[in-house]
Every structure is written in structure tokens, then in C-alpha cells.
Amino acid sequence: MEISRETRAAVTPALWGAAGGAIALAIVGFTWGGWVTGGNAEKLAKSQVETAVVAALSPVCVEKFRQEAGAAANLAEMKKVRAWEQSRFIEKGGWATAPGGTEPHSAVARACAETLGSDKAADLRQ
């Protein structure tokens, strides 16, 4: 079957238009439409999970710290340590380890140290 020159001339602009439309749709979708690739969606999901874990476990860490005997002394000791090492102090104390867990969570320790270092921690029990 042979395609005539007239048919080819009519179909070619339609194919170019479809290809151009598909490219334009992809550009608009990824730029303004909120489309993401699978890799970016996975990164975003991991980031949201990490944020949720820290939000859920940092109050547990603070409460574990406050409930321990000598919490005021521990707080004074933590404040003697340089600010960027305070989370390590929290990790070593075991307060940033999730219930049932074996390893401390570094982001939880950072959030816990920030909370304890702020004025919110002033009501620690002796």
C-alpha cells in the first residue's frame, strides 16, 4: 500500500502538532502541574516520614529526660556542652532511643536537645 503525497502532506503537520503538544504538556505538568518523577516522590516521602518521626518521638525524649532522677543536674551538664554536641549528649544518655529500639535517633536527639535547651525546660523536677 502506497501513501500518496497529498495524504503524507496532510498527516505530517498533525504528527508534528501531536509531538509538540505532548512536549508542551510535559513541560507545563512538571513545571506548574506538580508532577514529579518516581525518585523525587520517594525523596519527598522519606523527608515527610523523617519529619513525622521527629515530631512524634522528640516529646517522648524530653519526657524520658524529665522523668529520670537527677534531671536538673543532667540539664546543667548538657548546657555545659557545646551546642552542636548537645544532641550527642542526649544520644549517649539513651533518651533519644525509641521505646523498644536499640539505637538512638540523631534527628530526635537534636530536637530533644533544642527543646531542653530552651526556656520550656525550666520546670524540670529535682
Residues 65 and 3 in one domain: no
d(C-alpha 35, C-alpha 13), whole Å: 28
Count the neighbouring beta carbons within 10 Å of the beta carbon of residue 67.
11
Ramachandran sector of residue 43 (left: φ over 0; alpha: ψ -120 to 50; beta: rest): alpha
Residues 74 and 103 in one domain: yes
Residues 13 and 62 in one domain: no
Residues 24 and 53 in one domain: no
DSSP single-letter state for residue 82: -
What is residue 99's predicted lDDT score, i.e. its pLDDT? 85
Residues 26 and 46 in one domain: no
Length of the chain, please?
A: 126
What is residue 6's predicted lDDT score, i.e. its pLDDT? 81
What is residue 10's predicted lDDT score, i.e. its pLDDT? 81
What is the count of structural domains for the chain? 2
| Residue-range definition of the domain harbouring residue 14 | 1-35
All three cell numbers of 98, joined, read: 525509641
Contacts of 124 (CB under 8 A, 6+ apart): 66, 71, 72, 75
Q: What DSSP element (H or E) covers 2?
A: none
Q: Please give the average pLDDT of every successive group of 10 residues along the chain, which has 126 residues.
A: 79 91 95 93 96 95 93 93 93 92 94 85 51
pTM of the model: 0.69
